């Protein structure tokens, strides 16, 4: 009968929802446990940033990795949003910052000076404890402020621009470099950009992945570079997967490049080896 047909149509969908809900619940409980027990489930991968003006690697981005015995490898695109919604992203960020500061000491010991960019969520930006916490952590470990910078996703910021601006200004005033991440996906207005206390725009990888073959993307990226320069900001392009794309960005005056073509995100120790091997690489020929 009709009711039975309806039930059959709905059932698989319901089951799917239920599975997603259960997965979410286990992400919450497992991630909270991993944060507290610090038992090697979490790690930070570093992805180099190529300074196109200097032709050398001067920075990296810190990207959180999570490998859970029950859930397997979980992508940050899945667990970061869950931690945000469940209200404990602050703990995640604390964990990342602490690990990054330790790893910076390792880089320094290896004779490598790199700026490490940390991804912040909107909740982190609004958290009054963040900045004093970071400053005292750096102080305690004898790490300079130049060693750290921050990235905030554009779509996160535009939700409450007024509040965000005040906090971003404080982060800038403290001496940290700030980038808008995934730029081009969040509908920033010109007026907003003009007032935003950031010094870098990071072009979203969706415009960069096929840059060499997509004239539309080429127009967008060139426009973003010009726009950024109008506001005295510099530009990072993320998601460079081939040499022609890298060459285009250099030709257009883009300041920084990041992507699998240069290097994938790798663990700290591997980064030290990679850096030694690529110190004299000529990326643009
Ligand atoms: P994001 O900050 O925009 O980072 C760039 C993402 O693009 C990373 O994915 C990186 O591995 C990937 N990527 C880099 N180069 C290429 C490339 O050439 N091709 C392709 N296809 N992908 C490339 P990942 O590591 O999976 O991170 C995804 C997102 O999760 C990040 O996007 C960021 O928004 C968030 N995330 C990662 N770690 C953290 C963290 O510690 N805190 C917070 N709040 N968010 C984080
Ligand atoms: Mg980022
Ligand atoms: Mg992002
Ligand atoms: Mg991105």
The whole-chain average pLDDT of the chain stands at: 93
Spatial separation of the C-alpha atoms in residues 225 and 259, rounded to whole Å = 17
Q: Does the C-beta of 274 come closer than 6 Å to ligand 1?
A: no
**Token pair in block for residue 177:** 């470099």
Q: Which of 3-7, 172-176, 220-224, 265-269 comes out lowest in average pLDDT? A: 3-7
pLDDT value at residue 190: 81
Tell me the CA distances in angstroms from 130 to 127, 134, 223, one per residue in order.
Answer: 6, 6, 34
Q: Does the C-beta of 76 come closer than 6 Å to ligand 1?
A: yes
For the CA of 45, the closest atom of ligand 1 is 25
Q: Does the C-beta of 182 come closer than 6 Å to ligand 1?
A: yes
Q: Does the C-beta of 260 come closer than 6 Å to ligand 1?
A: yes
Tell me the CA distances in angstroms from 137 to 32, 102, 106, 107, 179, one per residue in order.
Answer: 22, 10, 16, 17, 21
| Helix H or strand E encompassing 219 | helix 215-230
- The separation between CA 212 and the C-alpha centre of its own chain, rounded to angstroms, equals 23
- The separation between CA 246 and the C-alpha centre of its own chain, rounded to angstroms, equals 20
Name the residue of 34, 44, 47, 76 to mutate for ligand 1: max ligand atoms within 8 A of Cβ. Answer: 76
Spatial separation of the C-alpha atoms in residues 46 and 258, rounded to whole Å = 11
Centroid of ligand 2 to alpha carbon of 18 (angstroms): 31
Q: Does the C-beta of 238 come closer than 6 Å to ligand 1?
A: yes
Spatial separation of the C-alpha atoms in residues 266 and 47, rounded to whole Å = 6
pLDDT value at residue 17: 78
Tokens 């979490």 map to which residue?
42
* pLDDT-derived band at 158, boundaries 50, 70, 90: confident
Q: Which of 96-110, 146-160, 163-177, 229-243 comes out lowest in average pLDDT? A: 146-160
Q: Does the C-beta of 73 come closer than 6 Å to ligand 1?
A: no
Q: What angle do CA 139, 93, 105 make, to 5 degrees?
A: 40
pLDDT at 189 over 70: yes
Q: How many CB atoms lie within 10 A of CB 185?
A: 15
Tokens 């990296």 map to which residue?
60
Q: Which of 12-16, 21-25, 87-91, 146-150 comes out lowest in average pLDDT? A: 12-16
ipTM reported for the complex, 2 dp: 0.98
Tokens 């981005």 map to which residue?
61
pLDDT value at residue 154: 86
**Token pair in block for residue 79:** 């667990």
């Amino acid at each position: 009968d009709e009711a039975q047909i309806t039930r059959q149509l709905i059932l698989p969908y319901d089951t799917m929802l239920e599975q997603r809900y259960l997965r979410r619940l286990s992400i919450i409980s497992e991630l909270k446990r991993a944060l507290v027990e610090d038992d090697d489930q979490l790690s930070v991968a570093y992805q180099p940033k190529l300074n196109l003006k200097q032709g050398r690697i001067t920075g990296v981005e810190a990207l959180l990795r999570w490998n859970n015995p029950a859930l397997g490898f979980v992508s940050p695109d899945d667990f970061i949003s869950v931690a945000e919604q469940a209200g404990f992203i602050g703990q995640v960020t604390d964990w990342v910052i602490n690990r990054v500061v330790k790893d910076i000491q390792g880089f320094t010991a290896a004779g490598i000076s790199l700026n490490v960019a940390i991804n912040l969520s909107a909740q982190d930006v609004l958290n009054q404890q963040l900045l004093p916490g970071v400053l005292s952590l750096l102080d305690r470990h004898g790490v300079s402020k130049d060693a750290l910078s921050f990235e905030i996703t554009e779509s996160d910021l535009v939700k409450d621009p007024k509040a965000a601006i005040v906090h971003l200004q404080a982060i800038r005033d403290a001496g940290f470099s700030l980038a808008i991440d995934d730029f081009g996906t969040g509908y920033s207005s010109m007026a907003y950009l003009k007032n935003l206390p950031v010094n870098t725009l990071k072009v979203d990888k969706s415009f960069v992945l096929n840059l060499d073959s997509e004239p539309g993307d080429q127009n967008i990226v060139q426009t973003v570079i010009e726009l950024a320069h109008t506001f005295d900001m510099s530009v990072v392009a993320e998601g460079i997967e081939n040499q022609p794309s890298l060459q285009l960005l250099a030709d257009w005056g883009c300041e920084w490049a990041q992507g699998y073509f240069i290097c994938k995100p790798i663990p700290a120790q591997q980064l030290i080896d990679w850096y030694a091997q690529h110190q004299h690489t000529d990326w643009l020929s």
